[in-house]
Amino acid sequence: MYIYQLSSIKDSKKFLKNLKVHGAGVTIMAKKMELLYFYIKDLKTPALNILKQDALSIGADLAIPAGAITFEEDYYDCLLIGTKKHIEILSYKELAQPFGLRDLAHSLRDFLNIKEYPVEIMGIINANDDSFFKGSRFKDKSAISKIEEMIRDGATIIDIGGVSSRPNAKIVSSQEELKRVKPICDAIRDKKLYERVSFSIDSYSVEVIEYALKSGFNIVNDITGGANDEVIKLAIKYGAKLCIMHMKGTPQTMQDNPTYSDIMVEVSNFFEKRIKKAISLGLKRDNIIIDVGIGFGKKLEHNLMLIQNMSHFRKFNCQILVGASRKSMIDMITPTPIEDRLAGTIAIHLKALENGANIIRCHDVKEHKQAITVWNKLSIPY
């Protein structure tokens, strides 16, 4: 006999099936194999003490501040720790409890009914002269050549934009934006490239978006997060997906000392409202992608917090896009020019995938395809 410790088991059900565990046992045991952590803010003190006792009674636990037992404050933050099975039982128990615990129970249940999405790579094509990375700038024939290369390299989505959204980017009219992307849209339509992969238009201009959708595009990548109802209605009209991104301010102001009382709460509340609005207008949840907006009105600590806690946003049951390709957060961690930030980019993106993202928006498709393929192989239980 020999025993060794496993570092982690990404796919618990697959591991148990490989172990030839009985069918019913796979589902039961898989729920006991993943330890979950829920950071709960501003919980009423009576509710906190009830939750603590209920958690302990089923084998879970609640980490609470020292003063909570003696009711020194009216509200406290706490950390709930338990397996998926524990959380299922606890969420049922709390439905009958007062002090806001019923609402907490419903919130916990949102985290338990999560849909899985396949990993996809979105290649970036910028049809402008001022995007922060020169290697992403292409026009007309060179853009089509690059698109075909990205498809060969493993991209399943190509994102095309005519206006830079880097900090302090120049404001461009819709007419000029359309002039930049129109030749690319026309070539995609004429070559029927949309039959090979999905195409995304990176714009919030109604005129530009509609032209792209008429050309075979099926994703709208809106950095304003669906602020304009007309953009949402266009996505509905053409049966396209809408990517709702969080941004504090505008590209011209977003990096002017952005501050948050709690980045996770603010971004989560933003998605809650924008998703609700989009669905109320008729957009299906399956056609919504969310993007936390790395670098869009965020300091380094905000970006790191969002990536480290990406799994939180899975509760919305939408695809999650992350785009940190060659961005300045890498330079803030380890001083590096834009041209040399590929390694840092891949490190961030793999961590984001590990934490729940499923669409990677990047400049370097071939390298990401290789990294993700190897990463997936390492995640297979043997």
Say how far apart CA 134 and CA 240 lie, in whole Å.
29
Q: What residues have CB less than 8 Å from 372, skipping those under 6 apart?
A: 119, 121, 350, 353, 360
Specify whether 264 is located in the same domain as 369.
yes
Of 112, 141, 160, which residue sits at a domain end?
112
Is residue 2 situated within a structural domain? no
Beta bridge partners of 290: 244, 320
Tokens 């009219």 sit at which residue?
173
3-state SS, residue 362: strand
Q: Which CATH number is 61's domain given?
A: 3.30.1370
Encoding tokens for residue 215?
């050309």
Specify whether 312 is located in the same domain as 186.
yes
What is the distance between the terminal CA atoms of the chain, rounded to a whole angstrom? 18
pLDDT digit string (tens) for 307-352? 999 999 999 999 999 999 999 999 999 999 999 999 999 999 999 9
Q: 137, 326, 327, 341: which is the annotated catalytic residue?
A: 327
Residue 235 carries which side chain, given as an amino acid letter? A
Whether the Cβ atoms of residue 143 and residue 151 lie closer than 8 Å to each other: no
Indicate if the alpha-carbon torsion angle 220, 224, 226, 228 is positive or negative. negative
Specify whether 165 is located in the same domain as 95.
no
Identify whether 369 is a catalytic site residue.
no
Of 63, 78, 112, which residue sits at a domain end?
112
3-state SS, residue 320: strand
What is the number of structural domains in the chain?
2
Identify whether 327 is a catalytic site residue.
yes
Is residue 29 situated within a structural domain? no
pLDDT digit string (tens) for 62-80? 999 988 888 899 999 999 9
Q: How confident is the model at residue 3 (pLDDT cuts 50, 70, 90)?
A: confident
Note down the domain range covering 56: 34-112
The pLDDT mean for the chain works out to 91
pTM, to two decimals: 0.90
Is residue 7 situated within a structural domain? no
Encoding tokens for residue 147?
């698109």
Encoding tokens for residue 97?
């409890």
Specify whether 141 is located in the same domain as 89.
no
Q: 191, 361, 366, 369: which is the annotated catalytic residue?
A: 361
Judge whether residue 250 has pLDDT over 90: no
Specify whether 85 is located in the same domain as 229.
no
Is residue 219 situated within a structural domain? yes
